[in-house]
Structure 1
């Protein structure tokens, strides 16, 4: 069963964030993760949401997504987004 990694963010330093994105991309590919879509918040129709952007990645399984997130390759670049904004990473199993 494939899994979706949904990242909600509110950027405070877009330049630093782009450095992180460039560095993290190759680690994502090593774990069979793929970028599906990304965009800016248009409206909150119900409830509350304090982030401005959403990006969705697809992995073959939740185990593979967790392996990527905890991998040495990703952990070596994860620090590049420190101070670049606020981030929520949510893993969803598709059905």
Structure 2
């Protein structure tokens, strides 16, 4: 089942460190099958309070996502982002096309 790395970035200092991070992240994703689904588009607020940019990266499965995050290549650039932005990051499994909203009641 596909999995997703989801991040919300706020207070991004768009300087040389973030530019370097952006220049290097694609190469860290490739060995793990990671591809950007959403990258930095500011959402249209329809409910609640939202601040920041949304990033969603799709992976073949949760283990690939975890392996990417923990990889030496990604860890080598991680501080470029964390020292220049505030962020919340999660890894979550997707659902298949047969999923219905009530399926969560069974778990």
Q: What interval of TM-score do these two structures reach, taking the shorter chain for normalisation? A: 0.7 to 0.9
Q: Show the counterpart of 1:70.
A: 70
Query: Which one scores higher on RCO, CA 8 angstroms, separation ≥ 6?
Result: 1
TM-score with structure 2 length normalisation? 0.77
Q: Distance in 1 between matches of 2:83 and 2:43?
A: 21
Q: Secondary structure at the match of 2:6?
A: strand
How far apart are 1:18 and its partner, in Å? 2.3
Larger strand percent? 1
Q: Show the counterpart of 1:33.
A: 34
Q: Distance in 2 between matches of 1:84 and 1:24?
A: 15
Paired residues of 1:7 and 1:89 also in contact (CA < 8 A):
yes
The alignment's C-alpha RMSD in Å is 1.5
Q: What stretches of structure 1 move > 3 A for 4+ residues in a row? A: none
Q: Which runs of 5+ in 2 are unaligned?
A: 96-107
Q: Which runs of 5+ in 1 are unaligned?
A: none
The size of the alignment, in residue pairs, is 93
The structure with the larger Rg is: 2
